[in-house]
Structure 1
Amino acid sequence: MTRRAVFAGWWVVAGAFLCMLTGYAVAYSFAAFFGALESEFGARRGEISLVFSISAFLYFLLGFPAGLIADRTGPRPVVVGGLLLIALGLVAAAQADTLWQVYAGYGLGVGLGIGFSYVPSVAAVQRWFVRRRGTASGIAVAGIGVGTLVGAPVAHWLIAAIGWRHTYLVLAAVAVAGALLSGWLVRPGPERYGLTPDGDPPLPSGASTMPAGLGLGEAVRSGPFWSIYAGALLMSFGLFVPFVHLAPYASDVGLGEGFGVLLIVLLGVGSTVGRFLFASVTGWIGRRLSFALMYVGAAAMLVLWSQSTSAPALVAFALLFGAFYGGFVAIAPSLAADYFGGRALGSVIGALYSGVAFGALLGSPVAGYAYDFFQSYTGAILAGAALCLVSFAITLAMPEPARWLAARRPGP
């Protein structure tokens, strides 16, 4: 009796998982560096927040050109190059004498690196699966949750032991290792290898069962594209505020910096669980409605945060907000594939994520400057919740993918 080989698509999932774990462990370790950078450079919270926001702006904005390149060259060279850029940026940041050099090193290096590695890796997974797309995508993007889970506490421990500069160098070495491993595993679509999505038997003609889908221009001219774009853009203004400001918020309410780092870990725990939990829910109620519920759940959690000063309340916020954030990230690529197919999926996902870039750039610094001015985060947090509710309404108004695609087909 011969053993059946593991379907190659699962190795692509593993590569995408490692890629996202590496990139986002670095990105979401930022909260652990907040106090060290504030002390080193004598900077205000709005100025420190901008370091993270520059990187987040770039990695969402650059998903579009990265997707275009990967659609033409395959994902492997873009993924490897992106993670190596993260390493170079961290090495540069470790040598910084002024805050603007941290902007240039961490902000540009991490931003460019994730920008060129994330979308190609997540789009590669969508091409290898159709029936099991939700599960495969959920596993792959769980790398972001695990990265959030381990990045901040490991960085916090290293900073205490060897200082923030040497910690950046350690993370640079991790990024190089991630580039080698994920680059070895991530590969182009199954048709390149004479295979079909989900490991199904090939058709007699040898053709792929992956639907051709829409080109980028067709997708951009469609209503669902702009509905997803607008919803993600509005949500993003509040989405990244906890990843930057939750740790200093915990210190402000007397719970200490160590507890603040623990809250970032709990965001990662919730995010990891949410990616699997909500990816499974999509099979019962559909991806569009599931996606809409991520917005309303995030809004409710932001309202909870705005009223929370106790440890139990903040723990509940971190776990639940992380879960809804994780569900949002897990469902988005598969929802895009449902509407637009696999023909130009990398560039379509990249174009959709470009809207998130502007919220990521502005949300955390605005919250930081609001705190500097009002000595309170409450107004900024509640504004983020309100925008999430608008995103919820936009998504509810979208047609279901199957109904929308059926309406596009010419009649008999």
Structure 2
Amino acid sequence: MSVPPVRAKESGYRWFVVAGAATMLAIAMGQLVNGLSVFFVPLEREFGWARGSVALINTAGLVGLALGGIVMGAVADRARIRDVCLTGVVAVGVCVALASRAEALWQFYVLFFVAGLLGAGLFAPLIALAGNWFPAGAGLAIGIASAGQAVGQGGVPFGAAFLIEALGWRGAFLAEGMISLLVTVPLALLMREAPRPGVSVAAAGGPSAPLAPATVVVCLSAAVLFCCTCMSVPLMHLVPLIQGLCISGSDAGGVLFAMLIAAVAGRVAFGKLADVIGPMPAYLTASLWQTMAVFAFTRIEGLSGFYVFAPIYGFGYAGVMTGLLVTARALTPPARRASMMGVILSFAWLGHGLGGFQAGYFFDVAGSYVPGFANAAFAGIANLLIVGGLMVAVRRGRFDPAGARIRTRLRSPLTPDDPPTSGAEGGVVVPARSIRS
């Protein structure tokens, strides 16, 4: 039995789920992933801390996201989604507001670690929830939901730059925390699970995969560790890189905002592309785009050059996360999807923390961002090698030993005109025309 279609009265609600997920990810992840970038210079001026030490505040939050992703992903497979989301949004809002009272580095480290640890209950569960509401065309839905993070990664630093100028860094932290709570708590309360698939599909565990789930988790975790090490360097250090050229913080924040607005379009576009050519080719394409372009930021010397190049980079790099998420959805069993995504994404947050820290560290050592951005490019190459190897392994694993039937799919779940049939071993056999790799 195929997954039952979403009833008409639920069709509108599922798009509300996507919009709500995008909004919560925009506000929460915008603060946790790179929202601290515009606070680097004010904190340096206030306390005299080294840039590497300030960057560790963000790293502490990302380590919290990594550890929390494993725990909260597993919890999300068992608990009500609204409870998981509510825990996450309250933790982020309260911890960011309390940062306005911090006086020592360890206090920032603890607050952002806790925010990440509990805020991790948002990303993997919300992405899994958005995809589960769409039996077909999940790539577009996931692309839109994950685009919220791109909006936040551009919008939060951009808005925070003006808040800092108007209220100081303490007032900016307090305002961010309060706005976060006011917007995200009502949305968290309105989230609910998608309808469950039919009994026979659930009993079968969903369509069989070409690789063991443990292999998929290991490979994607390794890939995303390097991928996000590359990705995080411009996200965390583009603003201070531009400020180092005697450009104001608000103008530098505007460049980051322009890059991440382009990233919104990129996430949606690559989500649709994943529905057309398959998630792994889409993931590989975006990874190549990001890797080839990241070092070029260090070669730009004027504000106009940054405004031209940053959106080009942003559109392509944004497809990496969409490609990863849709690939993970295609290669993991539905019953364990949130927990497996939590593990994979934990390595993404570790990569973000590693990339941001190493760029700050090498800036302190060399007085330049060239080494940090070069390391980002090398990490991107490592990601490409792993993803390429995984795609080859998946293609080889498509066929059963006799080569007569294709037993997996790397696109959306079964459509009504692609009914499953019983295989010799009791698995689900998917017609060849529903495959993309």
User: 1:351 offset after TM fit, Å?
Assistant: 1.0
* SS of equivalent residue, structure 1 residue 156: helix
Partners of 2:321 and 2:188 in 1: how far apart?
22
Q: Distance in 1 between matches of 2:133 and 2:205?
A: 12
The residue that corresponds to 2:257 in the other structure is 265
In structure 2, the residue corresponding to 1:61 is in which secondary structure? helix
Aligned equivalents of 2:312 and 2:118: distance in 1? 29
What is aligned with 2:288?
A: 296
State the Cα RMSD in Å: 2.6
Instruction: Report whether the alignment pairs 1:37 with 2:43.
Output: yes
1:404 and 2:422 aligned:
no
Q: How does 1:1-400 map to 2 (within 5 A)?
A: 5-7=9-11, 8-27=13-32, 28-105=34-111, 107-191=112-196, 212=206, 219-220=213-214, 222=215, 224-399=216-391
Q: CA deviation at 1:9?
A: 2.2
Compute the displacement of 1:347 (Å).
Answer: 0.4
Q: C-alpha offsets along residues 84-112 of structure 1, whole Å, 9 cap, x if unaligned?
A: 0112212321111122212222x224312
Residue 181 of structure 1: CA displacement? 2.6
Q: Contact 2:98–2:174 at 8 Å: present in 1 too?
A: no
Is this contact kept in 1: 2:72–2:118, CA < 8 A?
no
Change (3 A) 1:129 1:402: farther
Q: TM-score, normalised by structure 2?
A: 0.83
Amino acid at match of 1:62: G
Give 1:34's aligned amino acid. Answer: F
State the 1:4 CA deviation.
5.1
| Counterpart code for 2:296 | L
Determine helix, strand or coil for the equivalent of 1:163: helix
Contact preservation (8 Å) 1:31, 1:261: no
CA distance in 2, matches of 1:324, 1:21: 19
Tell me, yes or no, if the aligned pair for 1:31 and 1:264 is still in contact at 8 Å: no
Aligned to 1:200: none
Q: Which amino acid aligns with 2:72?
A: A
Could you tell me whether the CA contact under 8 Å between 1:13 and 1:136 is conserved in 2?
Answer: yes
- Structure 2: distance between partners of 1:206 and 1:378: 56
**8 A Cα contact 1:148 1:267, kept in partner:** no
Q: TM-score, normalised by structure 1?
A: 0.88
- Indicate if the aligned counterparts of 1:302 and 1:385 stay in contact, CA closer than 8 A: yes
The 2-side partners of 1:108 and 1:337 are apart by: 27
1:330-389 deviation line (CA, Å, top 9, x unaligned): 222221111113121000101111222332222212111211111111122112112212
Whole-Å separation in 1 of the counterparts to 2:204 and 2:16: 18
Gaps of 5+ in 1: 197-202
What is the identity percentage for the equivalent residue pairs of Structure 1 and Structure 2? Answer: 23
CA shift, 1:144, in A, is 0.6
Partners of 1:384 and 1:36 lie apart in 2 by: 25
- Find the residue that maps to 2:365 and give its secondary structure: helix
Secondary structure at the counterpart of residue 338 of structure 1: helix
Bigger shift: residues 230-239 or 316-325: 316-325
Q: Which amino acid in structure 2 is aligned with residue 88 of structure 1?
A: V
Residues 237 and 75 (structure 1), Cα distance of their counterparts in 2 relative to 1, 3 Å cut: same
After TM superposition, the runs of 4+ consecutive aligned structure 1 residues lying more than 3 A away are 3-6, 205-211, 399-412
| 1:14-65 residue CA offsets vs partner (Å, 9 max, x unmatched) | 2211220120232333222122111111111111111111112221332111
In the aligned structure 1, how far is the partner of 2:137 from the partner of 2:396?
A: 21
- Structure 2 gaps, min length 5: 1-6, 402-406, 408-422, 426-437
- CA, structure 1 residues 206+390, in 2 after alignment: closer, same or farther (shift >3 Å)? closer
Q: Please say which of residues 227-236 and 109-118 is displaced more in the overlay.
A: 109-118
